[in-house]
Amino acid sequence: MSGQENEAELTIMSVVMIVLSVLGIVAGFSRDLFGGIDGLLMLGVALMILLIFSLLLLVQAKQLGWIGKRHKDEGPAGPPAVVK
């Protein structure tokens, strides 16, 4: 990311793609499509899209501070150590 992207747009796009890929997997199972090669290809593509956009959303959430350790602003630093 170059810093020019809007975080809301990227988040919404990632969530939409994740939802669509999950719906594709559910639809494939409900119509019993995964018995043939076409169904397996559809499953593979849906899982790949799910993995890519989930990782993108995870990295963005970590960069924005939604997950992970939050760094609390500690008070002013103490005096520097004297090296002899």
The count of other CB atoms within 10 Å of the CB of residue 47 is: 13
> For the segment 17-39, what is each residue's pLDDT rounded down to a tens digit?
999 999 999 988 888 887 888 88
pLDDT of residue 23: 94
- The candidate with the shortest Cα–Cα distance to 61, out of 10, 2, 3, 5, is 10
> For the segment 42-63, what is each residue's pLDDT rounded down to a tens digit?
899 999 999 999 999 999 889 8
Tokens for 22? 């999950």
pLDDT of residue 76: 62
Domain boundaries, the chain: 7-64
